[in-house]
Amino acid sequence: MDMNVRPESMARITTLELANAFIDEQIAALRAQIGDKKVLLALSGGVDSSVVAALLIKAVGKQLVCVHVNHGLMRKGESEQVIEVFGKELDANLIYVDATDRFLDLLAGVSEPERKRKIIGAEFIKVFDEEASKLEGISFLAQGTIYPDILESKGVKAHHNVGGLPEGMQFELVEPVKLLYKDEVRVVGEALGLPHGMVYRQPFPGPGLGVRCLGAITRDRLHALREADAILREEFEKNGLAGKVWQYFVAVPDFTSVGVRNDQRYMGWPAIIRAVNTTDAMTATIEEIPYALLHHITDRITHEVEGINRVCLDLTPKPIGTIEWE
Ligand code: XMP
């Protein structure tokens, strides 16, 4: 039997009951696989790795070592949430690495999108490897591979993580949700007691705000982007759009325009709002945000975020525009 093929008899996990049955089954399987050995997991705080972490904590407790690398390109509050939920509430064995300076120093002056992505990806593996090689007695590497990853046969997660391990380190893979679809991972996550906001969070690219802080990233513009994005998310949550819109974010380009405040002219960046709906991210349509809310968001961003003096709305569907600006 191919372990990477979902059996036809496997029911879609849509209820708490089915999720609990899956969890019980996986806990037994994980304990059988892992025994008294140690497991390592790169915990990004995304849905998949969070659910895998919660499952493993239930199954093997402190034998799981989670490493959370903050690359400095997280959205506001995300690393804090990982520390709060996994470090404190679930009392996990969590290693938190603030690698912000390493990433931002390497990215300084780099404006080409593909190069930015490569730098972020390579440095992530380097930081993770460094942490992994400090640990002793690790036998397994857990991954948040889900069924679409296998179907799309990208193997991106597996390839990156395994390919990036220190030489000589032999880990066996632990992939407890590899036969699940995203919606099922979410139901399982809720059954495991993870916060709703973590389980239903919108997709967020691996390179994080790095693809939304356009051109060469600077700390002040990255800070402005993070604050403006937090306001957009807060307002979408307050106004019932957070659970409805598939993906919404702010991008900040690397040019300024003139603005006026207290009778003084000053230069500031524009914040571009993008809010899209899609099922598979291959095509996307534009969410029609009520104008009153847009005015309110504009007012808040331009008054609360240092450095931003305009708010623009992106009305471009995919195609012709991609979802991210890069
Ligand atoms: P585009 O911009 O190509 O994005 O229309 C399609 C979807 O993919 C997300 N995205 C990524 N997700 N790692 C990810 O896990 C990445 O490097 C990455 N780049 C883009 C993007 O946010 C959108 O949802």
Q: Which atom of ligand 1 is nearest to the CA of 318?
A: 5
- pLDDT bracket for residue 169 (50, 70, 90): low
Answer yes or no: is the C-beta of 207 below 6 A from any ligand 1 atom: yes
Give the distance (Å) from ligand 1 centre to CA of residue 132. Answer: 27
Mean pLDDT of the chain: 94
The CATH number of the structural domain formed by 212-313 is: 3.30.300.10
Answer yes or no: is the C-beta of 243 below 6 A from any ligand 1 atom: no
DSSP string, 256-304: -EEEEETTEEEEEEEEEEEEEE-SSSSSBEE----HHHHHHHHHHHHHH
Answer yes or no: is the C-beta of 203 below 6 A from any ligand 1 atom: yes
- pLDDT > 90 in the chain, percent: 93
Cα–Cα distance, 113 to 216 (Å, whole number): 9
Answer yes or no: is the C-beta of 206 below 6 A from any ligand 1 atom: yes
Q: Do domains 16-199 and 212-313 have the same CATH topology?
A: no
Nearest residue by C-alpha to atom 20 in ligand 1: 205
Answer yes or no: is the C-beta of 205 below 6 A from any ligand 1 atom: yes
Nearest residue by C-alpha to atom 12 in ligand 1: 205
pLDDT at 160: 44
pLDDT at 161: 42
Domain 16-199 has CATH 3.40.50.620: yes
- What DSSP character marks residue 85? I
- Flag whether pLDDT at 239 surpasses 60: yes
By C-alpha distance, which of 214, 140, 130, 137 is closest to 164?
130
Nearest residue by C-alpha to atom 22 in ligand 1: 205
**Beta carbons of 38 and 169 less than 8 angstroms apart:** no
- Flag whether pLDDT at 73 surpasses 80: yes
Cα–Cα distance, 308 to 259 (Å, whole number): 9
Answer yes or no: is the C-beta of 130 below 6 A from any ligand 1 atom: no
DSSP string, 161-180: HHHTSPTT---EEE-TTTT-
Nearest residue by C-alpha to atom 6 in ligand 1: 281
- Locate the domains of the chain by residue range: 16-199, 212-313
Give the distance (Å) from ligand 1 centre to CA of residue 212. Answer: 11
- Flag whether pLDDT at 153 surpasses 80: no
Answer yes or no: is the C-beta of 322 below 6 A from any ligand 1 atom: yes
